[in-house]
Amino acid sequence: MASEPVLGKLSVRVVRGHNLVVADPLTHTSDPYVVLYYGSQKVKTSVQKKNVNPLWNDVLVLPVTNLTKPVKLEVFDADTFTADDSMGVAEFSVTDIYDAAKLDLKHASDGTRIKTIYPVGANYLGGESHVSWKNGKVVQDLILKLKNVDSGSVVLQLEWVHVVPGVTL
């Protein structure tokens, strides 16, 4: 099977979680970590012990090969003796940041807002998401509401990284 060409790399800074569910009833807390899935790729953050409002600031990188595939996110509670518990899921599209990265922005001033995505319909946004030009890079700030749980959100900052054409996985 031939590899798909890499369109670019998506650098995902998993900044923090907010009001995550309590997965360990005995300690009234959780030991959360985030897993990102894109196609067959899987990357994860560090575990933050005993914290329902964790600060990760971990940077995870995913080579992007297909703009129609969403990036799926799942938060887990790390357990020692049993399977890790799901603490919610979300997903986001790479299309908005990719489209902005194709623009000629060399004359744009720092902080220029390129696009705003609103939390409507079936998306997972917990607030407006802005694609911007910051420090010579295209970035997107996201707050994702977690589904399949009573509460919780995850804050991400995406950055598009161009690659040399013709590179394959």
Domain containing 106 — which CATH number?
2.60.40.150
**Which pLDDT score is estimated for 163?**
67
Question: What pTM was estimated for this model as a whole?
Answer: 0.91
Would you state the structure tokens that stand for residue 139, as one six-digit string?
């970035």
Residue 166 is assigned to a structural domain of this protein: no
Residue 169 is assigned to a structural domain of this protein: no
pLDDT digits (tens, 9 = 90+) for 16-31: 999 999 998 888 999 9
What is the domain range of residue 75? Answer: 6-160
**Which pLDDT score is estimated for 80?**
86
Q: How many domains does the chain have?
A: 1
pLDDT digits (tens, 9 = 90+) for 115-161: 999 888 777 888 899 999 999 899 999 999 999 999 999 999 999 98
Residue 10 is assigned to a structural domain of this protein: yes
pLDDT at 167 > cutoff 50: no
Residue 141 is assigned to a structural domain of this protein: yes
111 pLDDT tier (thresholds 50, 70, 90): confident
Residue 116 is assigned to a structural domain of this protein: yes
The whole-number average pLDDT for the span 83-91 is 95
Would you state the structure tokens that stand for residue 65, as one six-digit string?
């090969």
**Which pLDDT score is estimated for 27?**
86
Q: What is the Cα–Cα distance from 18 to 32, expressed in whole angstroms?
A: 11
**Which pLDDT score is estimated for 164?**
56
Residue 109 is assigned to a structural domain of this protein: yes
Residue 167 is assigned to a structural domain of this protein: no
pLDDT at 1 > cutoff 50: no
